[in-house]
Structure 1
Amino acid sequence: MTVNDDSFTNWKNREEIAESMIPIIGKLHRERDVTVLLHSRSLVNKSVVSILKTHRFARQIAGEELSVTETLPFLQALTTLDLGPSQIDIAMLAETYRSDDRGLSVAEFTAEAVAGATGDGKIERREPRDVVLYGFGRIGRLVARLLIEKAGSGNGLRLRAVVVRQGGEQDIVKRASLLRRDSIHGQFQGTITVDEANSKIIANGNEIKVIYAGDPSEVDYTAYGIKDAILIDNTGKWRDREGLSKHLRPGIDKVVLTAPGKGDVPNIVHGVNHDTIKPDEQILSCASCTTNAIVPPLKAMADEYGVLRGHVETVHSFTNDQNLLDNYHNSDRRGRSAPLNMVITETGAASAVAKALPDLQAKITGSSIRVPVPDVSIAILNLQLARETSREEVLDYLRNVSLTSPLMRQIDFTSAPDAVSNDFIGSRHASIVDAGATKVEGDNAILYLWYDNEFGYSCQVIRVVQHVSGVEYPTYPAPVV
């Protein structure tokens, strides 16, 4: 047998193992509301090749490839336990087991590592929480995809309605088509049908009522059987407490804004300050995509090294608030053609840091350039630290933060030398540290942070909504604080 034959045989064996993992992962998700992760990446509804690629990706961040032969025994061990709703990272199980010297079997170690999700301490499955989307643009449709994806277990969050202004002929058909196909993020994973007579979109069995209204005051959500719902406003039309309070109509309990909030509206970056949300707070903001990209790594650096001052320069993809061709715009430069120009513009991300990290005394400044790509941006975070360090130390620290810390869902890490923006379309992390571009000299560190300003941000929005709804399930093994 040749070397090539050996490689192919090995691939086929790993394919067979990955194939055997799919029904186990699906059953845990459907029947027990358990999401199986691999280095913070969900394996639910993933193909054989996707599972293998996710295992291989571990090489970039952990230094060596993780094999399905290593993780399968832990997955099998989970099926023997009386698990409650949770997220379980089998990569972390495999790696912590590798360094454990007590001689425990895989089954014994797994039972101990996820003990909080079993027995009397486990969380009981909750009734679904109603969610309403106000607006159905770029972020609205991606949030809808995520809500539908996470409804697979029948618990957690349930998208009940979308509120939009009445468009032209076949309005609901066209909106469903935009949900079904996306030029950047690809096809919707599942089936979508339209019930025009009842003004409904049915996505993977989820009936979503399309409500036409020109103003929040026109809607009584209880008329549609909606109660205690969380409304996600992705229009950005109202950004202060007075304006967003218009949404607190019958059937709506809380309002979450997908733009920076103004005044006393809390700006929340999940992973950093979500635990400061008061139980009775009815109105909050998820800040901006750029704020979500820079605040987690900024917190990580401040915790370890201290930060005296910083500047963030964002190179941001163009958005719908710019013109395709030169035309009138209220902003000085955004009227110039978005796909033909680099456009200097303002960003509120730097000032928003103070809301998310009130204990950070460092002055952070910021500016932004819009560039001719439709998605994925990069933030260049230039920091003066409180102590000197080295590039190797910073990269080792951030790699570990991405793998085992409470910020592992926010911060990702790549050492790929040829990475470009398109490689991060669909990333579920708030930001991805580019190891190759990182520069450190003495007390100065420059971090290059990629982020999918559409999808990664939408994932952060969902995490905040899960938190305030009480369906944000714990992760095992517990992250290292």
Structure 2
Amino acid sequence: MKKIAIYGFGRIGRQLLRIGLDRNLFVPSAVADVKDLKTLTALFSVDTNYGHWKGKAASNNNGFVLNDHEIAYVDSAAGVPDWESLNVDLVVDCSGRATKREGAQAHLDKGAKYVLVSAPSKSLADCDAVLLKGINLDHFDAEKHHIVSMGSCTTNALAAPIKVIREAFGIEYGLFSTVHSYTNSQSLTDQPMKDRRDSWAAAENIIPSSSGAAKALQFIWNDLKVTGKAYRVPTRTGSIAELNLITTKPCTVEEVNDAFRKASAEGELHGVLDVLEDEWSSARVVGDTHSAIMDLPLTIKQGDLLSIASWYDNEWGFSNRLAEVTQFIASKI
């Protein structure tokens, strides 16, 4: 397999590495971040949401020692590392700063051959393709796609049910609202922030926010007429997206739920989309590896309006897809 590096060792970067190692998908040759190695090793070893890593985590003068794997650590405080000298082929950018082309291009300029961005690009011009497992990953072209965006956790949570509904019944237009756990873009206490609504304490407020998922979905389906917004709520992880649609063909609740059941059991979305037959809360989906977990009792119809609900662990589910796409691209380049 080609050499892989993780750039940015925050929440997603750490879960990406856990999954890569635990599922034997890949072992990165390097991890780059701006924080000190001992603290990063401790954060990797014990996670508030997912507990102790089952392996042995330590560090030495060169980097991480994770079980039998030695992974170089690169201090990137001075900027993007010299990937060419490290013989890195694919950089998975988990920094959140590669949503514009210049941010991702910096990795290519430093010698990497491909960049996988763990965030939605600002525009389609800021990446070469938006590729999601179970949706359009087979469109990857190693000759053309050197900067690939994976969208966001919400993009993946909505794309799977949208694919099912589009193929079975068609979509005229729709609106979504995602109820999302708080993130690092918010503040722990009340203080002025760039986004005014984020100025209030994340663990004490319901905070409306924008969602980059709508734009990312239109990068995949340019004729899709779906948009929406987000509400950040005081939970650590575990989110739900409600999608309200007008379908092209008539459909019943049972027909829609049967379509989700079939997609979860076979085909491209097996392992990406799952279904819940009983009533649950967000605690049920924490640690779930699926991108979209359809709550079938919440599927309802009112006249021509269809409403569906997709649960997702906004860290763990997305990081599993990111790890799988990392392995896929590394195997194709």
TM-score tier (shorter)? over 0.9
Q: Does 1:301 align with 2:165?
A: yes
Q: Distance in 2 between matches of 1:147 and 1:471?
A: 17
Matches within 5 A, 1:144-183: 144-151=17-24, 157-165=26-34, 167=35, 171-183=36-48
1:211 aligned onto 2:80: no
* Aligned equivalent of 1:325, options 185, 189, 192: 189
Query: Contact between 2:28 and 2:71, CA under 8 Å: does it hold in 1?
Result: yes
SS in 1 for 2:317: helix
- Which residue matches 1:131? 4
Task: Select the structure with the greater relative contact order (CA < 8 A; seq sep ≥ 6).
Answer: 2
In terms of Rg, which structure is larger?
1
Out of 254, 261, 279, the position equivalent to 2:114 is 254
The equivalent of 1:434 in structure 2 is 295
Contact 2:291 2:312 (8 Å CA) reproduced = yes
| C-alpha distance in 2 between matches for 1:350 and 1:333 | 20
Question: In the alignment, what sits opposite 1:413?
Answer: 275
Q: Supply the distance in 2 between the matched residues of 1:222 and 1:207 (Cα, whole angstroms).
A: 19
One-letter identity of the residue aligned with 1:448:
A
* Contact persistence 1:381–1:446 (CA under 8 A): yes
TM-score by length of 1: 0.66
Could you give the per-residue CA deviations for residues 53-94 of structure 1, whole angstroms, max 9, x where no partner exists? xxxxxxxxxxxxxxxxxxxxxxxxxxxxxxxxxxxxxxxxxx
* Aligned pairs (5 A) from 1:460-471: 460-470=321-331
1:254: how far off? Answer: 0.8
Identical-pair percentage: 31
Alignment partner, residue 98 of structure 2: 238
Cross-structure match for 1:140: 13
Question: Within 5 Å, which residues of 2 pair with 1:79-98?
Answer: none
What SS does the aligned partner of 1:290 have?
A: helix
Question: In the aligned structure 1, how far is the partner of 2:217 from the partner of 2:84?
Answer: 37
Letter in 1 for 2:198: R
Residue of structure 2 in register with 1:26 after alignment: none
Alpha-carbon distance between aligned partners in 1 of 2:289 and 2:283, rounded to the nearest angstrom:
14
Please tell me whether the aligned partners of residues 288 and 317 of structure 2 are also in contact (alpha carbons under 8 angstroms). yes
| 1:364 counterpart residue number | 226
Per the alignment, residue 247 of structure 2 pairs with 385
SS at match of 1:389: coil
Give the distance between the partners of 1:403 and 1:392, measured in 2 at CA: 16
Q: Residue in 1 aligned with 2:150?
A: 286
Match of residue 423, structure 1, among 284, 292, 295: 284
Runs of 4+, deviation exceeding 6 Å: none
In 1, the alpha carbon distance for the partners of 2:107 and 2:276 equals 41
Larger helix proportion of the pair: 1
1:403 lines up with 2:268 in the alignment: no
Offset of 1:356 from its aligned partner? Answer: 1.5
Structure 2 counterparts to residues 340-355 of structure 1, below 5 A: 340-355=204-219
471 and 376 in structure 1: CA distance in 2 versus 1, 3 angstrom threshold = farther
Contact in 1 for aligned 2:142/2:332 (Cα 8 Å): no
SS in 1 for 2:199: coil
1:340 is displaced (CA, Å) by: 0.3
Offset, 1:279: 1.2
Counterparts of 1:190 and 1:428 in 2: how far apart (Å)?
Answer: 19
User: 2: distance between equivalents of 1:464 and 1:343?
Assistant: 31
Between the aligned partners of 1:286 and 1:215, the Cα distance in structure 2 is: 26
C-alpha contact (below 8 Å) 2:217/2:224 kept by paired residues = no
Q: Which amino acid aligns with 2:134?
A: G
CA contact (8 A) 1:290 1:349 kept: yes
| CA displacement at 1:220 relative to structure 2 | 2.4
2: CA distance between counterparts of 1:408 and 1:277? 20
Q: Residues of 1 paired with 2:68 and 2:112: CA distance? A: 23
Specify every segment of 5 or more residues in structure 1 that has no aligned partner in the other structure, as ranges. Answer: 1-127, 473-481
Letter in 2 for 1:221: W
* Structure 2 contact 38–59 (Cα < 8 Å) conserved: yes
Deviations 1:271-298 (A, max 9, x none): 1121222212211111111111101110
CA contact (8 A) 1:386 1:443 kept: no
The offset of 1:157, in angstroms, is 2.3
Rounded Cα–Cα distance in structure 2 between residues aligned with 1:451 and 1:303? 22
- Larger mean CA deviation between 183-192 and 236-245 belongs to 236-245
Output the CA distance in 2 between the equivalents of 1:352 and 1:184.
27
DSSP-derived class of the 1:158 partner: coil
Which letter maps to 1:138? R
Instruction: State the Cα distance separating 1:441 from its structure 2 match.
Output: 4.0
Partners of 1:243 and 1:132 in 2: how far apart? 16
1:331 maps to amino acid:
D
1:221 aligns with 2:83: yes
Q: Name the amino acid aligned to 2:91.
A: L
What's the CA shift for 1:227?
2.4
